Chains A and B, each alone.
Chain A
Amino acid sequence: MLLALVHLCWLQLRPESELRRFWAETTESNARRAAMMEQDPSGRIAGQAAAGNVLLELAGYAKTNPVVEGSLCFIYYRTTYVLYPRRIYAAPADQVINNGRDIMRIGFCPNQQWLQEHDVRSVLTFGDNNNGKTLRLEILPPRDGQAVMQTNKSGGN
C-alpha cells in the first residue's frame, strides 16, 4: 500500500504528470493565455456577432476536406455553448449533427426567408481560404421590418 502511494507521489513529480500540467496551467503567462484565446475564438465571435442568431456556413476547402472535421466540430460545439440562448445554425432542426462530418454532409445553405424567420443576423464562414481553417464573421445588413419581427432567440425549428 505504501509502495503504491509512494509510486503515485513520484508519478506526480515527473515532468509529464498531470500535477505538473496543472501547475503550468495555473502559472502560465498572459501571452500563453492570449494564444489559447486565439485557439478558441468562440468568445470573440459571441461578442462581435449582432444581437440575433448566427448561421454557420462552409466555404471552399472546408466543404469537403475531412482534415478540418475536428476543428469545425469544435467551433460548432463551442460557439453553440458560448452563444446560448442565441443560436448558431448549421442545419435545420431535424438534421442530426454528431460530428463535423455531419455538418459537411448537410452543407446547409438556407434562403433569405429562413434566415429572417430564425432571426439570423450574422454569418460565420468557416474555411474560406485554401487551408480551410479561417473564420470570418459577417454582420448581415438590417432587413426591412426587422424592428417589428418577432425574435426567436432561444432557437427552435
Chain B
Amino acid sequence: MALLTCCLYLLLILLVGYTLLSAIQPSSRVTIVQLIGLGPAVGAGTMGLLLFWASLIGFAPSRKVLVIVGVLTMACLLVMKQKNRLARINILATEWKKGDGRTVAPVVITLAGLVMIVVVALSSSLTEWDAFAIWGFKAKVLTHEALRPTPAYFHDLTLSYSHLDYPLMVPFLTAGAYAAMGTIDDQTGKLVSVFLDVLLVPMVYLGLRWKLRRLPAACLSAILAMLPVMFRYGGVGCADLPLAMFYAGSILYVARWIDRQQWQDLILAILFSAFAAFTKNEGLVLALMNGAVLLGFGLCGGRRRAWVGAAAFFAGLLAINAAWLIWSRSLPRTHEDYGSKLLSSLVVTHLPRLKEIIPAMLVQMAELRVWGLLWIMAGVLALLGWRALARPYVLALWVLLGLHLMSYALAYSVTPWDLALLMPMTMDRLLLHTVPAVIFLAGWHWAEVETGHHNVGNIGASGAL
C-alpha cells in the first residue's frame, strides 16, 4: 500500500510537470523522453516549492495538501485540453533512420544501470551518513511540523551537524512521499530519491539530442548511467544527484536561450536554476553563474532581447526563491558557512591553498575507477571538435564549467575542515555536479565533428521543448 501511494505521488509529480510544460509551450509536441525526463524534473521542482510554500503558511505536507495540488492540476489540464493547448506526445523526436537500430545496445546498457540503482536503493533504508543525518532528518521534521511557527529543530545548535541552513527541496519532496504514504517509511520513501537521481540521465540525453544524432547521444547517456560514481551516489538519499539533474536542465536551457533566444527556453532556464538553488547551497551559486553568463553573452551580442532576458532571469530567480531566502536568513549558520567566507577577505588569504587543491582535483578527474574515461574522452572530443568553440552556446558552457570548478576550488580553500581528510571524502561527489556540463560539451563538440558527415536530427529545429 505504501509503495502504491508513493507511486501515485510520483504520478502527480509527472502530471504537474506535464501541465507546466503545456503552459510554457502550448500545443507543442513532446517526445517520450521529454515526457518521462523533462516533465517529472519540472514537476518535482515545482512540487518541492509548492510544499515549501504551503508549509510556510502553516500546512505541513499531508494527503489533503497533495489532493489540493492534484485537483488544481487536473483542473488546469482540463481547461488546457478544452482550449487545445495541451502538449501532444510524439514517440520520437525525429524519424527512425538507417543505423539507428544500433542505438538499442546503449539504451539497454543505460536501462540496466538505472534498474540496478533502483533495485538497490529500494532494498535498503537510509544508511549513507549525509542521507539520514541531513536530508532524511529534515524530511522527518518537515513531515511532522509546518514551517510556521518555525520548528525548534531549525534553531537547535545541538543539531548543527545536520546543517540547519541547507535548502529544503529534497526534504520536502521526501516529506511529500511520507505524507502520501501516511507513514514515515524511509525505505519506500527512497523511491523519491532514486526517481530524482535517475532523471539525470534523460535530462542529459535531451541536451545531447538537441545537437547530436540518436546513436552518439544514447552512447553518451549510457556512459553517464554506467559511471561508478552514479552507482555510488544513486539512490542513497543525498541531494547531489538531484542538484546535478536540475543543474543539467538549467545549463541546457541557458545554452538554448543563448543560441535561439526563445522565451520558453528562458522560462525553463529560470525554473531549473531556481530549483537548483533550492536543492543545495551550491545550487544558488550555480544559478547566479547561469545569470551572469546570460548577461555576459547578452552584452557581447548587443541584442536588446538578450539584455531583457538576463534581467528577466534574475527577476524570476529572485521571485521564485524569495520566500526561501527571506525565511532562511535567520537560521543559524554552521561553522562551514561557505557563503560568508567566499565573500570575505578570507578567499584572498587562502589562495595559496589552491596549489594543493587544484592538483587534487586533476588527480580525481583522472581516477579511472571513479570516472572511467569520461574526463579524458571529453577532452579528446573537445579537441576533435574544436570548431564548436565558435558557437556562443558552447563557449558559454565552457565558461560555466570553468566557473563551476573554480567556485568549488575556492570553497575548498576556505573550508574549516582538514583538507587532507575532506577532499578524498567529498571530491567525487562535488565533481559529480559538473558531469552534465562535461557530457554536454563532449556531445556538442562531437556534433561539430559530425557536421558535414550526417544530417543531425535537431529537436530544437521544430521548436519543440
Contacts and interface: CB of A to CB of B under 8 A. Distances in A.
A2 B223 CA distance: 9
B132 A154 contact: no
B386 interface: no
Given A1-B220, A77-B132, A98-B335, A92 B158 contact: yes
A7 B116 contact: no
A74 B128 CA distance: 11
B158 A91 contact: yes
B129 interface: yes
Interface string A56-96: 00000000000000000110011011001100011111111
B161 A97 contact: yes
B133 interface: yes
Contacts of A8: 223, 226-228, 372-373
Interface in B289-346: 334-335
A85 B160 CA distance: 17
A154 B144 contact: yes
B120 A5 contact: no
A3 B373 contact: yes
Contacts of B335: 96, 98
Interface in B327-386: 334-335, 368-369, 372-374, 376-377, 381
B223 A4 contact: yes
Given A4-B373, A9-B109, A95-B158, A156 B152 contact: yes
Contacts of A94: 157
Given A2-B219, A3-B373, A5-B219, A17 B144 contact: no
B145 interface: yes
Given A22-B231, A77-B132, A4 B161 contact: no
Given A93-B156, A95-B157, A81 B120 contact: no
A107 interface: no
Contacts of A5: 106, 109, 219, 222-223, 226
Contact of B160 (A9, A22, A78, A98): A98
B153 interface: yes
Contacts of B222: 5
A91 B377 CA distance: 51
Given A5-B223, A26-B123, A12 B158 contact: no
Contacts of B157: 93-97
A52 interface: no
A155 B156 contact: yes
Contacts of A81: 126, 132-133, 136-137, 140
A11 interface: yes
A80 B144 contact: no
B187 interface: no
Interface string B180-210: 0000000000000000000000000000000
A80 B226 CA distance: 35
Nearest to B381: A1
Nearest to B230: A18
B78 to A, nearest CB: 40
Given A3-B373, A19-B231, A22-B116, A80 B137 contact: yes
- Among B127, B129, B140, B157, the one with the most A-chain Cβ atoms within 10 Å of its Cβ is B157
B137 A84 contact: yes
Contact of A17 (B124, B132, B141, B228): B228
B158 A7 contact: no
A92 B158 CA distance: 7
Nearest to A17: B228
A56 B316 CA distance: 47
A44 B67 CA distance: 36
B124 A25 contact: yes
B330 to A, nearest CB: 15
A82 B270 CA distance: 37
B81 interface: no
A99 B161 CA distance: 7
B119 interface: yes
A16 B159 CA distance: 35
A25 B231 contact: no
Contacts of B153: 155
The winner among A4, A25, A81, A155 for most chain B CB atoms within 10 A is A4
A54 to B, nearest CB: 13
A113 interface: no
B446 interface: yes
6 contacts: A11-B368, A11-B372, A17-B231, A18-B231, A22-B119, A26-B120
Given A22-B231, A157-B156, 10 more contacts: A1-B446, A4-B373, A4-B376, A5-B109, A9-B226, A12-B226, A22-B116, A25-B123, A96-B158, A156-B152
Interface of B: 106, 109, 116, 119-120, 123-124, 126-127, 129, 132-133, 136-137, 140-141, 144-145, 151-153, 155-162, 216, 219-220, 222-223, 226-228, 231-232, 334-335, 368-369, 372-374, 376-377, 381, 446
